[in-house]
């Protein structure tokens, strides 16, 4: 059994962990060439070539503020359709939950003087937090996010199998949200 994290993007992060949390695969997948849809299609084929039958898969949910929302949405849906086509189950993890799992809020500073972390600052904070939590580092923030997702997949599976798991509160809240997603508010008529 493996625990897989997929961070869909123009450079998709892919990590597979064994049952002890050891890294088996850590890659950034980009597809062939620079022209879409061939690049996107070949990237999705490459991702699927790395998936195995008993994998427990976590994929990062869609970000709403992405500068490349349409392209990343196409990649994200393409991966989901490919997984669905091969009857693979996966859990979806919100982008904020990925950060939360390593205790990164997206803010820095003391109460009353907090400042929002920008894109590069946030990515650096996440990379440092992953190293502090798991002693894992990679030059790609996409692979780093995929690593967090693989850890989430492992924690999710352990909680499912044992009906309990010992995690720091912020990690336990992420896993609880996967089991008990918040209800979406209905639009007013």
3-state helix/strand/coil string of the chain: CCEEEEECCCCEEEEEECCCCCEEEEEEECCCCCCCCHHHHHHHHHHHHHCCCCCEEEEECCCCCCCCHHHHHHHHHHHHHHHHHCCCCCEEECHHHHHHHCCCCCEECCCCCCEECCHHHHHHHHHHHHHHHHCCCCCCHHHHHHHHHHHHHHHHHHHHHHCCCCCCHHHHHHHHHHHCCCCCCCCCC
Q: What is the mean pLDDT of residues 3-8?
A: 97
Give the rounded percent of residues in the chain with a pLDDT score beyond 70.
94
pLDDT at 51 over 90: yes
Report pLDDT digits (tens) over 66-106: 556 667 788 999 999 999 999 999 999 999 999 999 999 88
Q: Using the Cα atoms of residue 29, residue 22, residue 165 and residue 140 in order, give the sign of their dihedral.
A: negative
Residue 111: the pLDDT is: 84
From residue 130, alpha-carbon distances to 28, 113, 126, 134, 185 in Å are 17, 25, 6, 6, 33
pLDDT at 1 over 90: yes
Give the rounded percent of residues in the chain with a pLDDT score beyond 90.
77
Q: Higher model confidence: residue 55 or residue 36?
A: 55
Q: What is the mean pLDDT of residues 4-26?
A: 97
Q: Higher model confidence: residue 68 or residue 14?
A: 14
Report pLDDT digits (tens) over 97-143: 999 999 998 888 888 888 888 889 999 999 999 999 999 999 999 99
What is the fold, at CATH topology level, of the domain defined by 3-179?
Answer: Nucleotidyltransferase; domain 5 (3.30.420)
Residue 32: the pLDDT is: 96
Residue 185: the pLDDT is: 72
């Amino acid at each position: 059994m493996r625990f897989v994290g997929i961070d869909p993007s123009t450079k998709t992060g892919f990590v597979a962990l064994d049952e002890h949390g050891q890294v088996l695969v850590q890659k950034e997948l980009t597809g062939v060439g620079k022209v879409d849809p061939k690049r996107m299609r070949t990237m999705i084929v490459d991702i699927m070539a790395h998936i195995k039958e008993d994998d427990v898969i976590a994929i990062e949910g869609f970000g709403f503020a992405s500068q490349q929302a349409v392209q990343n949405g196409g990649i994200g849906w393409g991966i989901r359709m490919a997984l669905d086509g091969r009857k693979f189950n996966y859990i979806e993890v919100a982008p904020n939950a990925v950060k939360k799992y390593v205790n990164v809020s997206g803010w820095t500073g003391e109460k009353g003087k907090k400042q929002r972390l920008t894109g590069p600052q946030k990515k650096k904070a996440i990379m440092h937090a992953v190293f502090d939590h798991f002693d894992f580092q990679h030059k790609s923030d996409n692979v780093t996010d995929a690593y967090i997702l693989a850890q989430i997949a492992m924690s999710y599976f352990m909680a499912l199998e044992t009906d309990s798991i010992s995690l720091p509160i912020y990690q336990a809240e992420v896993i609880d949200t996967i089991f008990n997603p918040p209800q979406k508010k209905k639009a007013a008529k």
